[in-house]
Every structure is written in C-alpha cells, then in structure tokens.
Amino acid sequence: MIAGCTGNGVKYVPLPLTFTDSAEFDEILSAALLSSEDPVVVKVAFNENSLPKRIEHWFAMVNDSGGKVQMRTKLDVRDGNGNILFFYELLKRVFNVGYNRELYKPAERYDAVLSKDDDTGQITKLEFKLRANVVGTN
C-alpha cells in the first residue's frame, strides 16, 4: 500500500485498508484518520477472543478519548436508543496498555465499530467513524 501526499501535506490513503500486523499498517491507518475520512474502513480477519495487540492499541486510544468501541453482528443487536451494544468487556483488557500515543492520536476523534460474522465468529471489518461532538470534525 502506498500513501501519497495531497497539496495540503495530508497523506491520501486509498480505502478500504487491509489489516497487517505491522508498524507500516499503524502509520497508514494514522494517516487515514488524520485526513478526517469518514468512515475509515479496515478489512480484518481475526477472532474476537484473540485481538492483535496492535488493534487493542487503536481501541485504547478511542476509549481513552471518550469514544465507543462497539460490535455489530449479522443480527445487528441494538439497545433502546438505537445504538449498537457496547463491545463486551474487551476494553477492560485494553486499559493501561503501553503504546505510542502520538501514532494513535488521530483515533481520538473516532468511534470504532467491529463487524462480526456470526457463522464463523470472525471479525471481518473495522470501521472508524468520526464523532459528531468532537471539535474540529466536519
């Protein structure tokens, strides 16, 4: 994947991204989130019980900044307010995770929604969606 620069110095990143467990992926996702793209979609393939540490770092930044990490299944279970139910107790594992806060900082303006295939139990997609109440968003 190659990211180019726009005239304003912000990197252009073609979407959707595909998750790779690498520092390069973090750099590319950081650039995509910095560009205020909405949503930023990442194709993934992992089990909800074995999240890559790299993904946990992104979730930690979303959570630490007041955002939500949520799960969407084929059933698309929603609470009484029409919101997708919170993504289990995963965030308890994510608290106090050591990570490079500057690299993950662009996630502060986003919520994260994971899509799960109920048949396989696999997480297939991760979407970062801009929060409407964050200063500096569209």
- pLDDT (tens digit per residue) in 41-65: 999 999 877 889 899 899 989 988 9
Q: Is residue 135 assigned to a domain?
A: no
- As for how many domains the chain has, the answer is 1
Q: Give me the domain span that covers residue 96.
A: 4-130
Q: Is residue 30 assigned to a domain?
A: yes
β pairing state of 110-116 and 122-130: antiparallel
Q: Is residue 103 assigned to a domain?
A: yes
67: nearest Cα among 30, 112, 22, 119: 112
Q: Is residue 36 assigned to a domain?
A: yes
pLDDT of residue 12: 67
CA 133 to chain centre: 17
pLDDT of residue 10: 52
pLDDT of residue 99: 62
Q: Is residue 16 assigned to a domain?
A: yes
pLDDT of residue 18: 96
pLDDT of residue 77: 46
Q: Is residue 136 assigned to a domain?
A: no
Structure tokens at 17: 């991204």
Distance, CA of 29 to CA of 115 (rounded, Å): 18
Q: Is residue 112 assigned to a domain?
A: yes
pLDDT of residue 88: 39
pLDDT of residue 72: 82
Q: With a cut of 50, which residues of the chain have pLDDT below it?
A: 1-8, 77-89, 91-96, 137-138
pLDDT of residue 3: 43
Q: Is residue 137 assigned to a domain?
A: no
